[in-house]
């Protein structure tokens, strides 16, 4: 039985080729929008698995609803003109995302931050996706059902038509996945990526209507709106409020949004607009005032200060500080983002004698047999904590790459304490690796004043300590219980973390009075980490490769930080309303 629709009256659709081309570009636009969504949201909400889940979930909701309504509309009114108008509207909407989307996200965040007490990140990301991305993707979700209606001449070949349409959509989706990730975003950025793929999609309905000399006004308006967005969008960045006189660079890589600011006393790199500074170089050599200064306790705590490995090199801030104060130390860096390494050379005076490998930190450790006196783990950024670099297996690998008496220092980006906190899980996991049953006191933390950073120091046992206490450690790992030892264990770490000892060792090894005085203050902030399971029945979470819910734990810390910072504004909103809140933020 033949299926008659209005498509038979459209010359451009008689060969059916244009229908398959439409399906191809529709599928490509959907995936490009999804990849673009992750990059648009990342500077504001992070690029964690939680955010990815929200993006995928909301987009699937939009596509599912689109399929349902698209099928109904195609059955009730099989008019291809209406379908191509929906595609045109979706293309124009996507083209406006780089111009308007960031303002919408910030408006939503501003409203929710003073009204939502918990799960801010989840709610804000979900609402942002629903408002910014669901409408155009709902419209694109209607395409397949409509095209199937118009492409089917007979019920005898209906399955073949569905298969061909599905294949075109899938091939388009593949290109819409790979091109943004590996080509357009690294080369031209997220904003241009939205414009490129929305422009390709917009060309389809424009060709369709121009071929029939129909919908001239709609075509003209769509083209003008697209042109305006194409001109204005690249002129504004993610951090549109920044002073462009100090903004030296803004761009993107495969992994990150990147921003370099040239300030009066320092140059800084931010890989996340709203959450701090990731690297810095001081124009006057000296301490940075950031967590790198506290982390300089590691070379003083180690039995020797001859070599260092930095996992999460960034632009080389820690490497520069080590080379300044410990010039005889050899330093090796590992950084997964090649573009950050390029920026380090261009803006941050990265030392020429520090080799940097472009690699994932854990994969690099797995392939290396070298050992070091100091290993810095600086791969955590707000809620974005790579689970594979937070587990018992990872820290065991780090310990194997430490020389006897060597020290691992971990930059934990969020001060978060208490039962069920991300730091409790990280500290317990690290203590489990470095303390074992008997090495109580080999793990210490030091909070960094005026920041949300906490530095954790864990010292590998000396060769003598290993020989004396490995039996006890084996018993712990075999039975999960403390073995009885004949004498109390006193770690060299415990002796070396006193303020007097840190100051003396630092002065002896560096000859720098300023750093030695600062280490005296760092020693006063040192707090021992005790594995909470020792002597108790507490089953604190040990992060493993199989079970490391770092995103959820990190989200709790974000909620805690937001509650502390937004608390006064919430009180103003409750007492004085919107007017009082607006006056307070002016």
Residue 109 sits at φ, ψ, to 5 deg, of: -60, -40
CA 467 to CA 550: how far, in whole Å? 34
CA 268 to CA 290: how far, in whole Å? 11
Helix axes 17-45, 158-179, angle to 10 degrees: 40
Q: For residue 569, how far is the Cα from the chain centroid?
A: 27
DSSP 281-322: EESSSS--SSHHHHHTHHHHHSS--SEEEEES-TTSHHHHHH
- Of the candidates 55, 127, 138, the residue with the CA atom closest to the CA atom of residue 93: 138
Strand 247-252: give its sheet, edge to edge: 247-252, 257-262, 266-270, 279-282
Three-state DSSP class for 486? coil
Of 293, 337, 378, 392, catalytic? 378
CA 388 to CA 361: how far, in whole Å? 9
**Measured CA distances, 123 to 53, 88, 105, 118, 532 (Å):** 12, 30, 12, 9, 33
CA 297 to CA 80: how far, in whole Å? 69
Q: Is the separation of the CB atoms in 357 and 364 below 8 Å?
A: yes
Q: Cβ contacts of residue 83 below 8 Å, gap of 6+?
A: 74, 142, 143, 146, 147, 150
User: Whose structure tokens read 């395409």?
Assistant: 143
User: Whose structure tokens read 């990150």?
Assistant: 256
Q: What is the DSSP letter of 8?
A: G
Token couple for 75 = 């059955």
CA 406 to CA 426: how far, in whole Å? 19
CA 68 to CA 528: how far, in whole Å? 59
Q: What is the DSSP letter of 579?
A: H
User: Beta strand pairing status for 330-334 and 372-377?
Assistant: unpaired
Residue 452 sits at φ, ψ, to 5 deg, of: -100, 15
Task: Mark out the alpha helices in 368-434 (DSSP H runs).
Answer: 392-400, 422-434
Token couple for 532 = 């909470």
To the query of whether residue 378 is one of the catalytic residues in this protein, the response is yes
CA 411 to CA 317: how far, in whole Å? 13
- Of the candidates 453, 437, 374, the residue with the CA atom closest to the CA atom of residue 407: 374
Q: Is the separation of the CB atoms in 162 and 67 below 8 Å?
A: no
User: Whose structure tokens read 């950025």?
Assistant: 189
Length of the chain: 586
Active site residues: 378
């Amino acid at each position: 039985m033949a299926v008659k629709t209005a498509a038979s009256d459209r010359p451009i659709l008689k060969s059916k080729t244009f229908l398959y081309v439409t399906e191809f570009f529709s599928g490509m636009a959907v995936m490009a929008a999804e990849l673009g969504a992750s990059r648009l949201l990342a500077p504001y909400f992070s690029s964690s698995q939680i955010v990815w889940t929200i993006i995928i979930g909301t987009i699937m909701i939009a596509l599912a609803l689109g399929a349902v309504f698209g099928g109904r509309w195609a059955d009730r009114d099989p008019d291809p003109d209406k379908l191509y108008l929906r595609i045109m509207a979706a293309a124009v909407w996507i083209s406006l995302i780089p111009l308007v989307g960031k303002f919408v996200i910030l408006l939503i965040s501003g409203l929710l931050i003073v009204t939502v007490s918990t799960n801010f990140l989840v709610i804000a990301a979900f609402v942002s996706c629903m408002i910014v991305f669901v409408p155009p993707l709902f419209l694109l979700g209607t395409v397949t059902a409509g095209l199937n209606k118009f492409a089917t001449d007979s019920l005898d070949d209906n399955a073949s038509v569905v298969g061909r349409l599905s294949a075109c959509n899938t091939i388009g989706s593949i290109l819409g996945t790979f091109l943004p990730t590996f080509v357009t975003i690294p080369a031209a950025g997220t904003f241009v990526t939205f414009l490129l793929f929305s422009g390709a999609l917009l060309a389809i309905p424009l060709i369709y209507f121009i071929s029939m000399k129909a919908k001239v006004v709609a075509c003209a308006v769509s083209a003008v709106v697209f042109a305006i967005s194409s001109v204005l969008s690249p002129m504004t960045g993610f951090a549109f409020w920044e002073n462009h006189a100090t903004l030296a660079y803004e761009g993107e890589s495969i992994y990150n949004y990147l921003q370099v600011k040239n300030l009066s006393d320092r140059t800084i790199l931010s890989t996340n607009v709203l959450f701090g500074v990731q690297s810095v170089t001081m124009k006057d050599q000296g301490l940075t005032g950031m967590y790198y200064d506290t982390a300089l306790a590691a070379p003083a705590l180690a039995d020797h200060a001859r070599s260092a490995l930095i996992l999460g090199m960034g632009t080389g801030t820690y490497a520069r500080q080590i080379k300044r104060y410990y010039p005889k130390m050899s330093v090796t860096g590992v950084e997964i983002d090649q573009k950050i390494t390029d920026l380090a050379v261009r803006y941050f005076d990265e030392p020429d004698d520090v080799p940097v490998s472009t690699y994932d930190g854990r994969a690099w450790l797995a392939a290396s047999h070298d050992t070091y006196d100091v290993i810095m783990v600086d791969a955590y950024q707000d809620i974005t904590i790579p689970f594979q670099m937070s587990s018992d297996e990872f820290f065991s690998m780090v310990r194997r790459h430490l020389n006897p008496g060597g020290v691992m220092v971990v930059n934990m980006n969020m001060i978060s304490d208490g039962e069920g906190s991300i730091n409790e899980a990280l500290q317990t996991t690290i203590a489990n690796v470095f303390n074992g049953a008997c090495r109580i006191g080999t793990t210490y933390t030091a909070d960094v004043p005026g920041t949300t950073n906490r530095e954790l120091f864990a010292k590998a046992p000396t060769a003598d300590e290993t020989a004396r206490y490995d039996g006890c450690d084996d018993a712990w790992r075999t039975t999960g219980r403390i073995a009885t030892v004949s004498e109390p264990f006193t770690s060299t770490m415990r002796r070396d973390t006193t303020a007097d000892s840190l100051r003396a060792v630092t002065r002896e090894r560096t000859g720098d009075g300023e750093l030695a005085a600062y280490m005296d203050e760092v020693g006063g902030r040192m707090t021992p980490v005790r594995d909470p399971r020792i002597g108790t029945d507490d089953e604190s979470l040990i992060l493993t490769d199989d079970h490391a819910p770092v995103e959820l734990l990190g989200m709790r810390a974000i909620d805690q930080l937001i509650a502390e910072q937004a608390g006064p504004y919430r009180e103003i909103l409750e007492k004085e309303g919107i007017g009082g809140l607006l006056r307070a933020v002016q």
